Structure 1
Amino acid sequence: MPRPTLRGVIFALAGTAIIALAYVVERPELLAVGVVAAAAPIVALVVVASGRPRVRVHRHLDPVVATVGEPVSVTVTVAGRARAAEWVERVPMRPGFAGPGRLPDVRRTRPARLTYRYWPAERGLVSVGPLLIEERDPFALAVRVTDTAAEATQLVVPEVLPLAAGPVPEPSTEAGPRSSRSRERADDDVVTREYRDGDALRRVHWRVTARHGELMVRQDEPQAGPHSRLIVDTDLAGYADIERRGLRPGPPSGPSFEWAVRMAASSAAHLVERGYAVDLRTSTPQAPQPPLADAPGISAALAPVLGELALLRSVAADGTPPPLEAHPSVPLIAIASAPQPSTIDWMLAQRAPGTVAVLLLVAPHGAADAPEVLALADEFTRAGWQVARVDPNVPVDAAWRRLIDGQPAPAEATAILRGATP
């Protein structure tokens, strides 16, 4: 609905006052001025209401799968019919919009294109749009905001930093680890089809979807290599600095939990690069059908893990985590903050004797040397784990380096992973 601007309201009030003054001082010439001033906003409302935009909006996002904090280029194509106007688009970053900018005249034979960049502030499935078109009369006395309603959904994954070699050794199997070339070839050998009701969201192939302009799903699964296990404590009670009162948009989260997610993403990429297939395990149930982070630069083996981590949430535990079988040849990387006793037992039980297992404990700011954190680190160390205590302000690659500079992996664990007999 059209509405008067502040300038239009001032015109209407001033016109009414001038009309009243004209009668008080008996000056007919002021009456004409007052009528014009009071009528101008009404005429502006009629002008703005006479040309409602009728447009179709299409967006192209580059990259298709975004990373927190890295720029995304958005090209918006507006087709149909609309007069020159201002535009504003809602985007998932602070302050929450892109623009305003100038939208030229749009005709059926002459669509308009808008280009801007935004920086995703949070991971997850986010909406880009809708595009808001703000039409004003030539004197800016009235405005009408048209919501085009069209949105694009984008997957935003956590930041991934390269980690130095160690402490997890190179895998070795009869077939040998997959090479980078074989993983790249697996990304290309994907058969896709149109999305159907009931298809799992994790099977959406984002790169092909962007090319076709409609949801496409993959029909095959990436090949797996030697297995590794990535453990993340997602119990809400295990993070003291979680924001519980809804002061931020989205599910509860906090510095320690977001650090744990970034560490998990970097660890997963490190394991995949070394030839492992990553089995992500959490202490609380998560989304049953997470999406695939399928995009250029992300290997087929890493795509499902990044998709799960993009939607990872800290939720209250409902009982003890389900037991998992320990495997001697499967290395473990665990990330936690202040795990509960049941979670500690669950994590410890996943390490088989002689297996490489590392733990990164992210304590709330300034609490890395607290007695309870030291006691927890000592408990895992005595159980054969390599442990590093870090602050959430420490970059994940620096925390990994701190882990490498600690005690080396047990010799028998390295022998088992290399296929030798301990």
Structure 2
Amino acid sequence: MQPWRRLTPRGRIVALGGLVLAAVSLWLGQRDLFWLGAFGVALVLGSALMVSAPVRGLRHERRIPAQSVPVGTPFTVTLELHAEGRSRPRLLHFEEVVSSALGPRPRFSLSGGVGAWGEEYSYPLTATRRGRHRVGPLLVRSLDPFGLARHDMAFSTSSEVAVAPRVHELGRLVGGAAGTSAEARTSRAGLVGQDDVLVRQYRRGDDVRRVHWRSTARTGDLMVRREEQAWQPATRLLLDNRRDAHAGDGPDNSFEWAVSATASIGLALLSFGATLDLSDADGVLDSHDNDRTVWAQRLLDAMTDEQLSWAPDLMAMARTEHGRRQEEAVAAVLGRLTDADVALLLDLHTGSGSAVAILLDVGTFAGLPHDPATALRAQALTDHGWTVAVADAQTTVPAAWDQLRNAVEAAA
């Protein structure tokens, strides 16, 4: 039964035709027809035996230029094939098993088998979905020169490709979570006197204990003290990954936008000297590392693996293992908020550090009109010291970041 399974449709037709011809020739007493039928059957059996013999020492090496690529970026995979000695004449069909997120399966053929000097084949892939995807195993189909029989083989090895979120280059957030330079702080301090403090106008929600009376008397407006920030401020980077807080289908849904924004903001803050603690709705994901290169890779790895959560609220995101430091800055990428979420975020921002957020108008990612509740919740956060930019489906991550930069500079 096994040889029959290895026959192609053509081989089965030739085998059955040969058997029928041989039987008819015996009934008619035609010896020449019998030998013709027997030849057809023997040819099919020989083809089956030929493809059943494995290609001696067939091995392959798969080369991927980078183990991590941004989503939507084409990359090339190279296969090197080698075999020991001369192989029997046959046609080899190769097929790579790849995730549907990487596109159609690459296929190619080699006539005459694989020479001892080896063969090389390259094919392009483009990842359309963030995550970790497998390339391989490699499937091999051996065919005889007449296409009468086939034999399928498969290698067991595969390679992993990490598809990271799209990262955008963002500018410095002056006076915000990224901190300001020593020169900028000295310059601003000189504008309000020699007591070397930074002050700004009072905003609703400011602690009255931070009122700077000397500057208030000088300017005639109620001024509050802006605590001196370190050149390397601690920043909590928050991602709202709740399933109910996002909408949209495909690679352009609101959650993928939020993941891309979080990765971009985190890398920007690291490049500007910040130290990060990363959290989502399930709690703390990772804490800062002294080696910024290592932390940047860990941030990308975390965002590559980030998934939607069934968490009902942001309570776990607000908690930390060691408690929040009063001077710690907060940068958040938020989905659809409730009144309870807003109250929790207001409690989160009680120290002297800055708090900035990108709030998504989630409905627009599903083709719905703008939600007035989004603007109301953004205003509620703004009234209590947050700097908020509202982003819809048409807003790019750099555009939303520029909104935050402008708002922070206007409030400084």
Backbone CA RMSD of aligned residues: 3.8
Q: 1:34 to 1:396 in 2, by over 3 A?
A: farther
Counterpart of 1:207?
A: none
Give the Cα–Cα distance (whole angstroms) in 2 for the partners of residues 121 and 393 of structure 1: 19
Q: 1:29 to 1:154 in 2, by over 3 A?
A: same
- Match of 1:42, SS state, is helix
Cα displacement (A) at 1:311: 0.4
- Match of 1:133, SS state, is strand
Cα displacement (A) at 1:275: 1.7
Cα displacement (A) at 1:232: 0.6
Give the 5 Å matches for 1:234-383: 234-241=241-248, 255-285=253-283, 299-317=293-311, 320-321=315-316, 323-324=319-320, 325-339=323-337, 343-353=341-351, 355-363=354-362, 364-367=365-368, 369-383=370-384
Aligned partner (choices 161, 168, 173) of residue 154 of structure 1: 161
In the comparison of the two structures, how many residue pairs are matched? 348
Q: 1:134 to 1:373 in 2, by over 3 A?
A: same
- Match of 1:62, SS state, is coil
Cα displacement (A) at 1:256: 1.4
Counterpart of 1:202?
A: none
Please tell me whether residue 384 in structure 1 is matched to residue 380 in structure 2. Answer: no
Cα displacement (A) at 1:130: 1.4
Is the contact made by 2:79 and 2:121 (CA closer than 8 Å) also made in structure 1?
yes
Give the Cα–Cα distance (whole angstroms) in 1 for the partners of residues 285 and 55 of structure 2: 42
After superposing the two structures, state which structure 1 stretch, 83-92 or 257-266, moved more.
Answer: 83-92
Give the Cα–Cα distance (whole angstroms) in 2 for the partners of residues 272 and 45 of structure 1: 62
Cα displacement (A) at 1:40: 3.8
Could you list the per-position Cα deviations for residues 335-385 of structure 1 after superposition, in whole angstroms to 9, with x for gaps in the alignment? 122245554444333323552322231513333612333333333233332
Task: Output the TM-score relative to the length of structure 1.
Answer: 0.69
Q: 1:118 to 1:130 in 2, by over 3 A?
A: same
Q: 1:172 to 1:400 in 2, by over 3 A?
A: closer
* Letter in structure 2 aligned against 1:6: P
Q: 1:259 to 1:27 in 2, by over 3 A?
A: farther
Could you list the per-position Cα deviations for residues 27-70 of structure 1 after superposition, in whole angstroms to 9, with x for gaps in the alignment? 76555544444554333221100234543433332123222121
Give the Cα–Cα distance (whole angstroms) in 1 for the partners of residues 408 and 132 of structure 2: 39
* Letter in structure 2 aligned against 1:91: V
Counterpart of 2:67?
A: 64
Counterpart of 1:100?
A: 108
- Match of 1:302, SS state, is helix
Q: 1:26 to 1:255 in 2, by over 3 A?
A: farther
Is the contact made by 1:356 and 1:409 (CA closer than 8 Å) also made in structure 2?
no
Indicate the percent of aligned positions where both proteins have the same amino acid: 23
Give the Cα–Cα distance (whole angstroms) in 2 for the partners of residues 368 and 124 of structure 1: 30
* Letter in structure 2 aligned against 1:117: P
Aligned partner (choices 122, 136, 144) of residue 129 of structure 2: 122
Give the 5 Å matches for 1:23-38: 31-38=34-41
- Match of 2:366, SS state, is coil
Q: 1:99 to 1:167 in 2, by over 3 A?
A: farther
Please tell me whether residue 45 in structure 1 is matched to residue 44 in structure 2. Answer: no
Task: Output the TM-score relative to the length of structure 2.
Answer: 0.70
Could you list the per-position Cα deviations for residues 208-236 of structure 1 after superposition, in whole angstroms to 9, with x for gaps in the alignment? xxxxxxxxxxxxxxxx9432221111122
Give the Cα–Cα distance (whole angstroms) in 2 for the partners of residues 31 and 242 of structure 1: 65
Cα displacement (A) at 1:121: 2.7
Give the gaps of 5 or more residues in structure 1: 177-223, 244-252, 415-422
Is the contact made by 2:97 and 2:138 (CA closer than 8 Å) also made in structure 1?
yes
Q: 1:254 to 1:160 in 2, by over 3 A?
A: closer
Give the Cα–Cα distance (whole angstroms) in 2 for the partners of residues 56 and 100 of structure 1: 16
* Letter in structure 2 aligned against 1:160: V
- Choose between structure 1 and 2: higher helix proportion: 2
- Match of 1:11, SS state, is helix
- Match of 1:130, SS state, is strand
Give the Cα–Cα distance (whole angstroms) in 2 for the partners of residues 23 and 340 of structure 1: 88
Give the Cα–Cα distance (whole angstroms) in 2 for the partners of residues 388 and 54 of structure 1: 61
Give the Cα–Cα distance (whole angstroms) in 2 for the partners of residues 275 and 103 of structure 1: 57
* Letter in structure 2 aligned against 1:43: G
Is the contact made by 2:179 and 2:232 (CA closer than 8 Å) also made in structure 1?
no
